[in-house]
Amino acid sequence: MTEQPASGFRVDYPDPLWIQAVDSLREQVAAGALRAGMRLPPERELCRRLGISRVTLRKALGRLVDEGVVRASHGRGWYIAGEDRNEWPNSLESFSETAARMGLVPTSSVLAASPSPASIDDAERLAIAPGAAVFRLDRVRMLNDVPIAVDSSLVPQVLVPDIEAVDFRVESLYETLASAGLDLADAETTIEARPATDEVARHLGVRAGEPTLVMHQLVRSRAERPILASAIRYAGDRYRLRTYFARGAAHAAFGAE
């Protein structure tokens, strides 16, 4: 039985329907309607929108995978493939600074932004007394509206007493700290793989239990005073860690997929 597409595709057109579907999706990517990192609708919905069968759709998606336009994520569906990005340098950059260098638009959704007493562990990391006020900032970090990471940060409130007035949906935490006269010099960093919790999975659009890359950082001033402690949970399939080794030195770079 011949397919009768409902999308404007023509059965009498020289190109078969799957090629017309490839062209349609490719054009949407070129026009920016589909952006790098975005998940495509479920196959059933794509079939309905394009007016084609699942067999035809999968043939079209297979071609786009071969072209590097689309990638498959086992058990999760189809994504628009990211462009080949430059590596992150071996320097301390804010999320906003890195996004700008990569030609991407950073945005944030603030989950929590309020002071609370430091736990014993927090106090030890930040070299403050237990119970001292720390400003807790939890955000979902996005690039071109695609959720990339869940960022949880702690700052001793005494360092920036009016930090609660800052709108971190649009403002950079690093710039806020720098504007307060704090010198962000270096960061002790640890990266490990951890399964996504239910909450992190919900914010990143992944399944609970799927691997995430968790980057723990303690940012210090040149006087080695702790300024910021953070845990950033990256979607495991949207970032890549590249490491280069040489005698007497090592360089690690963190880049977007």
pLDDT in tens, 204-243: 988 899 889 999 999 999 889 999 999 999 987 766 655 5
The top-scoring range by mean pLDDT among 16-20, 42-46, 102-106, 110-114 is 110-114
Q: 23-37, 161-175, 239-253: which range is least confident on average?
A: 239-253
User: Mind giving me the DSSP string for 137-193?
Assistant: EEEEEEETTEEEEEEEEEEEGGGSTTGGGS-TTTS-HHHHHHHTT----EEEEEEEE
Q: How many angstroms separate the CA atoms of 92 and 88, rounded? A: 10
Q: What is the pLDDT of residue 182?
A: 93
pLDDT at 44 over 50: yes
Q: How many angstroms separate the CA atoms of 117 and 94, rounded? A: 26
* The dihedral sign for the CA sequence 180, 184, 187, 193: positive
Split at pLDDT 50, 70, 90, the class of 1 is: very low
- Write out the two tokens for 215: 């980057």
Q: What is the pLDDT of residue 82?
A: 63
Query: Span 94-103, mean pLDDT?
Result: 77
Q: How many angstroms separate the CA atoms of 172 and 188, rounded? A: 20
Answer yes or no: pTM beyond 0.75: no
Split at pLDDT 50, 70, 90, the class of 194 is: very high
Q: Which residues pair with 195 in a beta bridge?
A: 211
Q: 29-43, 55-69, 147-161, 225-239: which range is least confident on average?
A: 29-43
> 115-166: per-residue pLDDT in tens?
999 999 999 999 999 999 999 999 999 888 888 899 999 999 999 999 999 9
Q: Which domains does the chain have, with CATH numbers?
A: 17-80 (1.10.10.10), 95-256 (3.40.1410.10)
Q: How many angstroms separate the CA atoms of 46 and 40, rounded? A: 8
Query: Span 105-117, mean pLDDT?
Result: 94
122 sits in which H/E element: helix 120-126
Q: Which residue has the higher pLDDT, 90 or 53?
A: 53
Q: Cα 247 from chain centroid?
A: 32
Q: Which residues pair with 240 in a beta bridge?
A: 255
pLDDT at 91 over 80: no
DSSP class of 134: E
SS3 257: coil
Query: What percent of the chain has a predicted confidence (pLDDT) above 90?
Result: 38
Sheet of 146-156, strands arranged across: 106-117, 133-143, 146-156, 226-235, 211-220, 186-195
pLDDT at 202 over 90: yes
Split at pLDDT 50, 70, 90, the class of 2 is: very low
Query: What percent of the chain has a predicted confidence (pLDDT) above 70?
Result: 80
Residue among 97, 127, 121, 119 nearest 227 (CA):
127
Q: 64-68, 137-141, 154-158, 246-250: which range is least confident on average?
A: 246-250
Q: How many CA atoms lie within 13 A of 249 on its CB side?
A: 4
Angle at 190 between CA 169 and CA 233, to 5 degrees: 35
